[in-house]
């Protein structure tokens, strides 16, 4: 259903992004795989995708903490594909500490990667989408775009910002066939949360399995993590023509976390 489309998924060398890249490529979309991994690993992924799905794939290792590197990546995409139809702003990092002790460089990095990068990418992607009167932007926010948690000041601020940015973009592009939405996952089984699990296990003197269960049920009524594929399938749905009236939304996929 996505044949002839070109999709950039940031942070698609791991976790939610990688699962999403598989699902979009399976539907025939050409893909820009992106992430901070060695070139050899990126090129291996590119080959895998091309062999498995028969689509055209580009790999980028742009560090999206730097707006100049984003500009270069976007230029490469324009030159290679001449179009860009789907953007999934997914790359993100986490760091947990109280506000009092939060390192300034971590604050700056989280705001740059989890929020500003989405702005810089949209600024260049929206004109390309508008030109073809069709486009889909999915910003991977979090439940932390809707509610707060202790020790996550930068992350929560960035994700709330991303939810706000999504609303403005949706209003601006509503008449142009371009939808912009945020999705707000609860716990998802990916490497991003390993540190938090390890820290909790250490604090409580328990094992990883026990710590994981505690971490989930502290916040989330549904006592299991979502899989990256489940998140990817919501993103895929938002890319369909059927979803054309959903825009400006911030959709929880959080096991009732934000229902409380
Ligand atoms: P992950 O750690 O598995 O993957 C992160 C990806 O981002 C990797 O491909 C990495 O290379 C890339 N990346 C990180 N910093 C980068 C940089 N400076 N430049 C370029 N690429 C960079 O994480 P994930 O859990 O799949 O997270 C994906 C998104 O989902 C994030 O925005 C995260 O905040 C969000 N999210 C995750 C969860 C969860 O429980 N895992 C919950 C809600 C939201």
Residue 174 is assigned to a structural domain of this protein: yes
221 belongs to a structural domain: yes
**Cβ–Cβ < 8 Å for 41, 69:** no
Q: Which ipTM value was assigned to this complex?
A: 0.99
Q: Provide the domain limits for residue 33.
A: 6-186+226-252
User: Average pLDDT in the 42-48 region?
Assistant: 98
Residue of minimum CA distance from atom 19 in ligand 1: 63
Task: Give me the mean pLDDT over the 16-22 stretch.
Answer: 98
Distance 113 CA to ligand 1 centre (A): 10
Domain count for the chain: 2
Q: Is residue 218 part of a domain?
A: yes
Interval between CA 215 and ligand 1 midpoint (Å): 19
Chain-centroid distance, C-alpha 9: 7
Same structural domain, 201 and 135: no
% pLDDT > 90, the chain: 99
Q: Is 222 exposed, middle or buried (0-12, 13-18, 19+ CB in 10 A)?
A: middle
Cα separations (Å) of 72 from 62, 67, 76, 78, 124? 8, 9, 6, 10, 11
Q: Is residue 258 part of a domain?
A: no
| Residues involved in catalysis | 155
Residues 140, 40 share a domain:
yes
Q: Measuring from atom 9 of ligand 1, which residue has the nearest CA? A: 11
Q: Is 99 helix (H, G, I), strand (E, B) or coil?
A: coil
Do residues 14 and 29 both lie within one domain? Answer: yes
Report residue 39's pLDDT band, with 50, 70 and 90 as the boundaries.
very high
Q: Is the CB of 35 under 6 A from ligand 1?
A: yes
Cross-strand bridge partners of residue 226: 188
Which residue owns the Cα nearest ligand 1 atom 33?
A: 92
CB-CB neighbours of 87 under 10 Å: 27
CB 64 within 8 A of CB 90: no
Looking at the fold, whether 218 and 231 belong to one and the same domain comes out as no
- For residue 12 the two structure tokens come to 């698609």
Indicate if ligand 1 lies below 6 Å from the C-beta of 162.
no
Average pLDDT score over residue span 190-202 = 92
Please, what is the average pLDDT of the chain?
Answer: 98
Q: Report the atom number in ligand 1 closest to the C-alpha of 89.
A: 32
Q: What is the C-alpha to C-alpha distance for residues 257 and 45, in angstroms, rounded to an integer?
A: 34
* Ligand 1 pocket mutation pick from 8, 10, 15 by most atoms within 8 angstroms of CB: 15
Q: pLDDT grade, residue 5 (50/70/90)?
A: very high
Average pLDDT over residues 162-185: 99
Residue 252: strand, helix, or coil = strand
Q: Are residues 103 and 216 in the same domain?
A: no
**260 is a domain residue:** no
Is the CB–ligand 1 distance for residue 250 below 6 Å? no
Residue 240 CA to ligand 1 center (angstroms) comes to 23
Q: Are residues 168 and 219 in the same domain?
A: no
Cα-Cα end-to-end distance for the chain:
37
* Unique residue bearing structure tokens 């998924």: 9
Is residue 123 one of the residues assigned to a domain?
A: yes
- pLDDT tens for residues 85-126? 999 999 999 999 999 999 999 999 999 999 999 999 999 999
Q: Is residue 197 part of a domain?
A: yes
Residues 128 and 198 in one domain: no
pLDDT value at position 254?
98
Q: Is residue 17 domain-shared with residue 36, that is, in the same domain?
A: yes
157 and 213 assigned to the same domain: no
196: part of which helix (H) or strand (E)?
helix 194-204
Flag whether 259 is in a domain.
no
Same-domain status, 161 and 93: yes
Burial label, 175 (beta-carbon count in 10 A; 0-12, 13-18, 19+): exposed
Ligand 1 atom with the shortest distance to the CA of 69: 19
Residue 150: its pLDDT value, please? 98
| Residues 144 and 235 both lie in one domain | yes
pLDDT at 55: 98
Q: Quick one: CA dihedral 240, 111, 39, 83, positive or negative? A: positive
Residue 140 is predicted with a pLDDT of 99
196 and 248 inside one domain? no
Structure confidence at residue 56 (pLDDT): 98
What CATH number corresponds to the domain at position 73?
A: 3.40.50.720
pLDDT score, position 125: 98
């Amino acid at each position: 259903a996505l044949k002839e489309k070109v999709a950039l998924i940031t942070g698609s060398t791991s976790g939610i992004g990688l699962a999403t890249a598989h699902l979009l490529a399976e539907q025939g979309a050409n893909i820009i795989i992106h992430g901070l991994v060695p070139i050899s690993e990126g090129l291996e992924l590119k080959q895998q995708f091309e062999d498995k799905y028969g689509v055209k794939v580009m790999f980028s290792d742009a560090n999206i903490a730097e707006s100049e590197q984003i500009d270069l990546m976007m230029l490469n995409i324009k030159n290679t594909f001449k179009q860009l139809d789907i953007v999934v702003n997914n790359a993100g990092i986490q760091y947990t500490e109280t506000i009092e002790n939060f390192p300034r460089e971590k604050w700056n990095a989280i705001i740059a990667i989890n929020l500003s990068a989405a702005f810089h990418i949209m600024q260049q992607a929206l004109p390309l989408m508008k030109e073809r009167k069709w486009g889909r932007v999915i910003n991977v926010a979090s439940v932390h775009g809707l509610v707060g948690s202790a020790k996550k000041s930068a992350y929560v601020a960035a994700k709330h910002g991303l939810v706000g940015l999504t609303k403005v973009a949706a209003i601006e592009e509503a008449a142009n066939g371009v939808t912009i939405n945020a999705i707000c996952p609860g716990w998802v089984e990916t490497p991003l949360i390993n540190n938090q699990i390890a820290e909790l296990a250490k604090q409580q003197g328990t094992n990883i399995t026990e710590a994981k269960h505690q971490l989930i049920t502290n916040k989330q009524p549904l006592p299991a993590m979502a899989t990256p594929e489940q998140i990817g399938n919501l993103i895929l749905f938002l890319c369909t023509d059927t979803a054309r009236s959903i825009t400006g939304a911030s959709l929880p996929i959080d096991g009732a976390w934000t229902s409380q």
